[in-house]
């Protein structure tokens, strides 16, 4: 992702606080990472609160996973690195415990190929589909293997960790955040429409949007 490390640290903090202020994330949950052009990764520190992020505390990791600067990185750094390996075009990863997507992740009847059947065009255009990764305890290194496999075998730009929350990709940090917001709004609409007759998008309509 283009941009110097100092600027990207500031952008992580600014967008993290925006997500916190709008209740997309609470407490010390969630993590954000950005891949630099030389393979280094900037990632939010373990247990950090998005409302109080400081640029000099953002963890800087080399291509081999070693800490270069900042605080101890998120324990979920492993799956961020796995997604960057799987998707050369990805410049940022956002993982939240946002309300509606986390609620969705706790349902027993999820279609693991796509947890949200398309009913709005922007969901298809920004995210594509929402494959589900099996439940693992937070920090379990197998999450990285699960997500890397899903990322290599689908073109989805988002994944749902069962009973945990969403993980969203973007070419830039801003795109990843925008994709996350669109996905959370889609999940909110899904729950608001429970009991209603939803007009699902047809296969032809979905194909047109993908093109």
Query: Does the active-site annotation cover 100?
Result: no
Which residue of the set 76, 148, 175, 182 is catalytic? Answer: 76
Helix (H) / strand (E) containing 136: none
Cβ density class 139-168: b for 16+ within 10 Å, e for less: eeeebbebbbebbeeeebbbbbbbebbbbb
Count how many residues are written for the chain. 211
65 touches 75 (CB < 8 A)? no
Which of 10, 57, 122, 185 is catalytic? The answer is: 122
Do 55 and 9 meet the contact criterion of CB atoms below 8 Å apart?
Answer: yes
Q: Identify whether 122 is a catalytic site residue.
A: yes
Please list the active-site residues. 76, 122
């Amino acid at each position: 992702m283009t941009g110097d490390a100092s600027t990207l640290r500031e952008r992580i903090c600014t967008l993290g606080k925006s997500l916190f202020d709008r209740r997309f994330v609470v407490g010390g949950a969630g993590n954000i990472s950005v891949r630099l052009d030389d393979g280094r990764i900037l990632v939010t520190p373990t247990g950090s609160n998005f409302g109080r992020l400081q640029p000099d505390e953002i963890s800087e990791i080399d291509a081999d996973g070693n800490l270069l600067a900042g605080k101890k990185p998120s324990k979920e750094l492993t799956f961020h690195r796995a997604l960057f390996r799987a998707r050369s075009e990805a410049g940022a990863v956002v993982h939240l415990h946002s309300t509606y997507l986390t609620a969705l992740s706790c349902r027993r009847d999820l279609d693991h190929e796509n947890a949200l059947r398309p009913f709005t065009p922007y969901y298809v255009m920004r995210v594509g589909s929402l494959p589900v990764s099996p439940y693992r305890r937070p920090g379990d290194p197998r999450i990285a293997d699960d997500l890397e496999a899903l990322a290599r075998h689908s073109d989805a730009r988002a994944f749902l960790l069962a009973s945990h929350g969403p993980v969203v990709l973007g070419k830039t940090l801003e795109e990843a955040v925008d994709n996350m917001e669109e996905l959370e709004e889609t999940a909110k609409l899904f729950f608001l429409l429970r009991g209603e007759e939803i007009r699902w998008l047809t296969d032809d309509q979905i194909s047109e949007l993908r093109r």
